[in-house]
């Protein structure tokens, strides 16, 4: 049941606030209703427990919309965050990727985390850059919208590249760039190729040999 309004307000006197937020003072409900009707608005009781009750001159449709909006925001804050799952292929086309991005933004707006998994087949493992490009585009769109952050950067787990995105908290700073997936780099000291030298660091040259000591003449024999 909604708040009392207009002729349903049956008390001796009320404190009236107009549509601009200005207090008009204490008066009889009939007098306040005449003011509301002259503006094409309604007289709505917003604080019935106050002494005297507080009524506002407002548009009832707008009042109901704002009240519903506040209730939805309160319900959103009170609900627990869920972890949504999302699966991609390394060579996902642009249209499908855009749809996935829209779903990520919606999940974050609802306060949910998203676990994004890129699944590789045998030959796709040799080209992780396709998955990397798709995830970078997803993260960049999320950061530009200001609705989420990267909780866990992309990492390989078997034949999957996993990334976790979280909704952005209020007042948190946006990250300027999207983190890149952690792809293992080749070893620095590669084994020498057949018929050639290795690419690793060469050992230092041996120190020069010390110069031979000058020979001293033997003492002459005495007669």
- pLDDT, tens digit (0-9, with 9 covering 90-100), for 30-61: 999 999 999 999 999 999 999 999 999 999 99
Token pair, residue 174, equals 């946006």
Expressed in percent and rounded to 5, the helix, strand and coil fractions of the chain are: 30, 25, 45
Half-sphere exposure of 194 (CA within 13 A, CB side): 0
pLDDT band for position 213 (cuts 50, 70, 90): very low
Which is more confident, 138 or 213?
A: 138
pTM for this one? 0.45
Is 56 in contact with 35 (CB distance < 8 Å)? Answer: no
pLDDT reading at 207 higher than 90: no
Least confident segment among 76-90, 109-123, 125-139: 76-90
Q: Output the pLDDT for position 210.
A: 53
Please identify, in words, the CATH class of the domain defined by 6-77: alpha beta
Token pair, residue 204, equals 């230092």
Nearest Cα to 28, choosing from 2, 55, 3, 50? 55
Equal fold, 6-77 vs 83-167: no
pLDDT band for position 123 (cuts 50, 70, 90): confident
Nearest Cα to 91, choosing from 51, 121, 55? 121
Percent of the chain whose predicted confidence (pLDDT) is above 70: 74
pLDDT band for position 67 (cuts 50, 70, 90): confident
CA distance 92 to 97: 6
pLDDT band for position 176 (cuts 50, 70, 90): very low
User: CATH number for the 83-167 domain, one of 1.10.3210.10, 3.40.50.2300, 3.40.50.720, 3.30.110.10?
Assistant: 3.30.110.10
pLDDT band for position 223 (cuts 50, 70, 90): very low
Domain ranges of the chain: 6-77, 83-167
Q: Output the pLDDT for position 209.
A: 55
The SS3 of residue 94 is: helix
CA distance 165 to 111: 11
CA distance 206 to 44: 96
Sheet holding 83-88, edge to edge: 83-88, 113-119, 160-167, 148-157
Residue 152 makes CB contacts below 8 A (sequence gap 6+) with 162, 163, 164
């Amino acid at each position: 049941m909604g708040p009392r309004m207009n002729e349903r307000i049956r008390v001796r006197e009320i404190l009236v606030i107009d549509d601009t937020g200005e207090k008009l003072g204490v008066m009889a409900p009939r007098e306040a209703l005449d003011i509301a009707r002259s503006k094409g608005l309604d007289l709505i009781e917003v604080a019935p427990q106050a002494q005297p009750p507080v009524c506002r001159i407002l548009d009832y449709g707008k009042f109901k919309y704002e009240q519903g909006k506040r209730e939805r925001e309160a319900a959103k804050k009170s609900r627990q965050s869920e972890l949504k799952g999302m699966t991609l292929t390394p060579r996902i086309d642009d249209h499908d990727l855009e749809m996935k991005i829209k779903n990520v933004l919606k999940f974050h707006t609802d306060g949910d985390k998203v676990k994004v998994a890129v699944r590789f087949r045998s030959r796709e493992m040799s080209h992780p850059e396709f998955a990397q490009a798709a995830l970078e585009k997803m993260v960049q769109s999320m950061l530009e919208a200001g609705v989420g952050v990267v909780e866990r950067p992309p990492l390989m787990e078997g034949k999957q590249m996993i990334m976790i995105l979280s909704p952005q908290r209020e007042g948190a700073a946006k990250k300027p760039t999207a983190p890149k997936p952690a792809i293992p780099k080749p070893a620095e000291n590669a084994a020498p190729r057949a018929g050639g030298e290795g690419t690793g660091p060469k050992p230092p040259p041996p120190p020069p040999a010390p110069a031979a000591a000058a020979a001293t003449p033997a003492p002459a024999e005495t007669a």
